[in-house]
Structure formats: C-alpha cells, structure tokens
Amino acid sequence: MFKRLSASSNRWRMASLFAFTTLIGLQLLRALFPLLLYVLRDRFGWSAVQIGILALGLFLLTYLVAPFSRWLGARRLLVAAVLLMGLARLFIQWWTADPLWDLLAALVGVLAWGLALPLLVGWLGREAQLIPGLALGMLGGLALDLGLHGLYGTYDMHWQTDWLTAVFVTLFVFIQLLLLFFNLRAYPHDPVDPGAGSFAWLAVTPLLFLYLLTSGNLATLQTSSSWSPPLALFLLLLAHLLGLSLFFWPSAVLRGVVLAGAALLLVWLAGVGLLGWSVTGWVTAVITLCTQPILAGLWLLALQRLRPGTNQRTLRRLSAANGTALVLLAIFLFAYYASYDLRFPFSRDILPLVAFLLLLTTALPRLRRPATQETAVWRLWASAFVVLLIFPLVLWQSYQTPTDTAVNGRALRVMTYNLHNGFDPEGDLDLETLARTIELAQVDVVGLQEVSRGWLINGSVDMLTWLARRLDMNYVFAPTAGPLWGNALLTRLPILGSETVPLPPDDLLLARGVLAVTVDTGEGTTLTVLTTHYHHLLADSDIRVQQSAAILAQWPAATRTVLLGDMNSTPESAEMMRLQASGWQDALAVHGVTASFTYPSTGPTRQIDYIWVSPDLLVGETAVLPDTGSDHLPIVTSIE
C-alpha cells in the first residue's frame, strides 16, 4: 500500500511540475513579445523583419537540447534550464527600472523554457504511467495561467509592481523548484528519447498558438460577447476544466465528441480563413468557449503516440520535434501580427486554420485510446483545478457597473489621448499611469486611440475593460484592424447611441475608422463625439486627405460635435487645412495655446493630436497635459 501511495504522490508531483513549468513559460512568452516590440522597435528603431529574425533565432537555439545534453548531462541541463526560467521570471517581477533588462531576462527565460520542455517530456516519457501526467500537466498549466490572467483583469502579473504580486510570483517559482527537487529524488534516471513517437510533440504548436489567440485569450471573449469580466472568466475556465475532464471519458464517447467538435471547428476556421466569414457577437463567443475542449481532446489523442523511451545516449528526435514545434510557433505568431505591418501573399485569418490542421495531423493517427493505468490518480489531480473557479468569484466581489453622471449646466470636459497600446516610451505596460492622467483631468468624455484588447504583442491585455473599471466610466469600442484593435470612448455621461464609420482606403494593412457616439449632456441637449486615428506613414499625406474628406462627407454641417483624434498631421498640412476650411475649430489654436506640441511625449516637436470643435460650440480652457504614460501627450478642453 505504501508503494502505491508513494507512486501516486510521485505522479502528482511530476504532473504538477509540468503544469508550473507551462505557467511560468507562458508568462515569459507574454512578457517577451511586447518587450521585443516596444523596446527594440520603438526605442531602438528595429524593423518588424529584424525582430522576427531575432525571435526565430531564439527558438532555433532550442534545437541544441541534444548536444547540450551530451555535453552537460541531461539531468544537469534540466536543472540549469528550470533554474534559469525561475531566475528570469523573478528578475522581471522584481526589477522596476529600465525594461531593456526585462527584455534580456525574457529572452533568457524563454530560451530556458524551450530547453526544459523536451527534457521534461523525455523524463516523463520513460515510464508509460507518467505519460498521462504530461498531457494533463500542460492542460492544467494552461488553466492555471488563464485563471491568474483573468484574476488580474488581463493586466498580467509581470507588469504589476506591488509587493504582494511579487511575493506570489516568488512562491510560484519556489513551488516549481521544490517540485523539481522532489522529482529528481523520486526519478534518478536521465531523460530518454521516446523515439518515433517524439513528433507527437508537434501538437504543442497549435495548442499554444490557438490558446494565445483565442481559447486562452479572455479579451477575445469579452470583446465578442460584452460579458462582464467575472462571467467571461468563469465560462472560459469551465471550458478549460471540461477539456481536462475529457481524459476520463469512455474511449468511444471521447472519440465521437472530439471528432464531431473538430469537424465543426474546422468548418468555422475554413470559413473565416478561406471564405472571409466575419460573424461576430455571440457566435464568436460560443466558438471561443468550445475551442479549448476540442483542442484538449485532440491534444490528449496526439500525446498517446508517445511511448516509453530507452535510448539514454541521445535526445535527437525529441530535440528536433521540440525545436520544430517552437520555431513553428514563432513563425505563426510573427506572421499573424506582422501582417498588420507587412503585406503577405495570404490572409492572417488562414493561420488558425493551418495550425488546427497541424493538430489534426498529429492527433488523428491515435483514434483508439489505450487504457490508462491508475486513472484515479489523474482524476484527483485534474479535479484539483476546480479551485480556479474561486478567481471569478473574487472578481465578482469587487466588480460594479459604472454609473452615469449628469453635467448639470457646467462646462463639459473633453480629452483626446493616444494610448500607444498601453506602453510608455521606455517600453513598460503602464495602464495605471494612463488611468491617473485621465482621472486627474476630471474629464466627462475621453476619446482614445490605439486601444488594444487581447493582442499578444501588446501584452494580451484588455485595455478598455481595465480602464473602464478602474475609472468607473462607461465605454464604447470601435474596432478597425480586426476585432481587437481600434478607437474607443470613455464617458461618465449617458450614452444615447453610437456608430462606426470606416475610413478610406480599403486596402490599408492597419485599417482606420471613426467612432461616433452621442451622449446626453443634460437639460435636453446632446453632444456628438467623434474619435478617430488617421493613417500613420508620414509620406502618405494623400491618404490622410482622403480620410479628412470622408469625415466631411459624413458630417458636412456638424453642429454640437467634437472631433477627437491622432491625425498624424501637423496643423499646416493639407489634410488639417481641409478641416479648418470647413469650419472646424482647433481647440489649441482657438484658445491660443503656444506650447501645443503633442508628440513625442518625452520631447514633443510637433502637434499631431487634435480636439476639433464644430463652429456652434464655445471653446474654453484648453491645455496639453505633461505626461509620459504614452508616446503622445493628451489634450483636454472645456466646451461651454
């Protein structure tokens, strides 16, 4: 009996080690990609191609697991990789100065994670009864990552600077190292190569890619459904727990349900990627919720191809499979997000379809599910993740719906602010500084540009939901480039209606639009607030002239209207002169603000942000606010 208890305890520890390694690896990934963009591109002027080459080179280094193992020994390499992961994660959390060092730590940490994965697979793959722990450990790590991501309102732990979060992260790293220590004692052998079955590990590419894009992306669900953050987190966690439970279903039921779901998801992804379906709302929300159980079922089928290994002298096949999987992950992510900056001969929407086909290729050869030894051990381990449902309950406790506030005859305070996707000029994701700037200005309406809601390269944060909750304001979102990026409006006033108008031309990589919102200003009066963000390339003035013309055509004789935005044009440009000639008033010019430069925030040299006011409104006190929460400075004015 004691032997059975000891074996069960060992399997618990091994699966838990893999879950915590997955958790810390995902946190390092979500730190790395935005740091690459906002440190290397914005601070040092790297191009998208250069950043892509660096990321690809980083993941190519994971092919070196086999030679490193021969040089250091597989167990020593595993210990070194896990230690480097933990140290990198701790450094990112505790370091609060220049984010360049965070980037270097993230590079080291992600490389260490890439080296640790095949070593853990080879370690677990030595014994058949441990292979289920490998499959469940990854799914449990995804669920744990999602729970923490949602508990922090999608504003990930590594961007937080409070001591309590730092203590929690230190605890997670300590638990991972403790689990490694106990497992090293319980399993003194070296990792081994599972042989031909190693290439089942390619399934990790679509699992992680689709998790980061949809099935673990809480912002995607919140944007498509308009559900509150607690409800969205609760339902998405339930979907992940359902995926974990599939392991214990009868074989025939598992195969039938997973294959039926996979067929439906394949049709959906093909429709979006090949036929250009653009269904939104509850349909997208339901698809998002169904994706994770389908991915989990296929993942469990794929990893059944792993067989206990015997070759202790080399990890060549496992190293090749893991390196290929991570390189493919880097290529998928780069191609998806670089398509907003570079013109590719394919649509980004086809990439989820290709990833899913890769998962099907690895899973379908194992349609017959073999018997699992001591499933009660794994059932108890997987059931432990039900505790994650506490996280949405904690959010529910503190969640409240914003309340409207009347103007009551006073002047209306209006602001425009390009948020730079939440990142300051140094490269830190700092939503709190942005929130304090808006809060201290005591504005009634603020038009926002560069609002990101779940893009991995912007930290996967739902900026709008977080800011609205932090400021106790209602919001309207107008996506322009896909469903997760665009313009928005926050207001304390009652919202009477809204619409989104696309701006020309139609073939822009980063599409543009205008958000029009009508608010109730009290005493039977209303105000129309337009928020926009013009095309950004300096040489393309003709495109911005088209965009100004489109606004004037849509609102030819604007009354009681305010136009807010980042126009990417100076006041003397042709595109701005067209607005002025039509009667719009530049609030900064009307009020005689001499220091009216708004960009860049660390040393402004030109005005490219504006508050335009229709000729029937009086412009009161206007100012450019000194602030470095974004790369733009906000403008605030009073409308009499």
Yes or no: say if 429 and 513 are a contact pair by the CB < 8 Å rule: no
Yes or no: say if 453 and 229 are a contact pair by the CB < 8 Å rule: no
Residue 268: name the closest of 251, 237, 290, 248 by CA. 290
Contact partners, residue 529, CB within 8 Å, separation at least 6: 414, 445, 447, 489, 491, 516, 517, 518, 519, 561, 562, 564
505: preceding bond cis by omega (within 30 degrees): yes
Count CA within 13 A, CB hemisphere, residue 128: 9
Yes or no: say if 341 and 48 are a contact pair by the CB < 8 Å rule: yes
Q: Please report, for residues 74, 173, 186, 533, 552, the alpha-carbon distance to residue 584 in angstroms, rounded to integers and kept in the order given.
A: 69, 57, 75, 17, 10
Count Cβ atoms within 10 A of the Cβ of residue 345 and give its class: 0-12 exposed, 13-18 middle, 19 or more buried: exposed
The number of angstroms, rounded, from the C-alpha of 540 to the middle of its chain's C-alpha atoms is 30
Yes or no: say if 96 and 36 are a contact pair by the CB < 8 Å rule: no
Contact partners, residue 299, CB within 8 Å, separation at least 6: 135, 138, 139, 203, 207, 359, 363
Contact partners, residue 163, CB within 8 Å, separation at least 6: none
Residue 452: name the closest of 422, 408, 425, 473 by CA. 422
Residue 458: name the closest of 479, 417, 427 by CA. 427
Residue 211: name the closest of 235, 240, 233 by CA. 240
Residue 486 φ/ψ, nearest 5 degrees: 165, -145
- Quote the pLDDT of residue 616: 94
Token representation of residue 216: 């673990």
Give the pLDDT mean for 2-10: 55
Euclidean distance between CA atoms 74 and 319, whole angstroms: 12
- Quote the pLDDT of residue 526: 93
Share of the chain above pLDDT 90, in %: 75
DSSP letter at 510 equals S
Model confidence pLDDT, tens digit, residues 256-267: 888 899 999 999
User: Edge to edge, what strands does the sheet with 495-502 contain?
Assistant: 495-502, 513-522, 525-533, 561-566, 609-613, 585-586
Average confidence score pLDDT of the chain: 91
Q: For the beta carbon of residue 436, count every other beta carbon within 10 angstroms.
A: 15
Yes or no: say if 121 and 50 are a contact pair by the CB < 8 Å rule: no
* Banded model confidence at residue 3, pLDDT cuts 50, 70, 90: very low
Flag the least confident range among 85-89, 142-146, 370-374, 400-404.
Answer: 370-374
Strands 561-566 and 525-533: parallel
Residue 481: name the closest of 45, 458, 634 by CA. 458
User: Edge to edge, what strands does the sheet with 619-624 contain?
Assistant: 474-479, 485-491, 445-452, 412-418, 635-639, 619-624
Q: What angle do CA 606, 633, 596 make, to 5 degrees?
A: 45
* Banded model confidence at residue 243, pLDDT cuts 50, 70, 90: very high
Euclidean distance between CA atoms 324 and 526, whole angstroms: 58
- Reduced to 3 states, what is the DSSP secondary structure of residue 634? coil
Domains plus CATH for the chain? 2-397 (1.20.1250), 404-639 (3.60.10.10)
Residue 552: name the closest of 533, 525, 576, 527 by CA. 576
Q: Which helix (H) or strand (E) holds 284?
A: helix 282-302
* Banded model confidence at residue 474, pLDDT cuts 50, 70, 90: very high
* Banded model confidence at residue 1, pLDDT cuts 50, 70, 90: very low
Residue count of the chain: 640
Give the pLDDT mean for 171-184: 95
Yes or no: say if 546 and 507 are a contact pair by the CB < 8 Å rule: no
Q: Which helix (H) or strand (E) holds 61?
A: none
Strand-pair partners of 564:
531, 611
Count Cβ atoms within 10 A of the Cβ of residue 548 and give its class: 0-12 exposed, 13-18 middle, 19 or more buried: buried
- Quote the pLDDT of residue 310: 62
Give the pLDDT mean for 352-374: 77
Whether pTM exceeds 0.85: yes
Model confidence pLDDT, tens digit, residues 479-524: 999 899 999 999 999 999 999 999 999 999 999 999 999 999 988 8
The amino acid occupying position 556 is P
* Helices 431-441 & 463-471 angle (0-180, nearest 10): 40
* Banded model confidence at residue 408, pLDDT cuts 50, 70, 90: low
Strand-pair partners of 355:
none
- Quote the pLDDT of residue 4: 46
- Quote the pLDDT of residue 368: 59
Q: What region, left, alpha or beta, does residue 442 occupy, with left being phi > 0 and alpha being psi -120 to 50 degrees?
A: left
- Quote the pLDDT of residue 305: 77
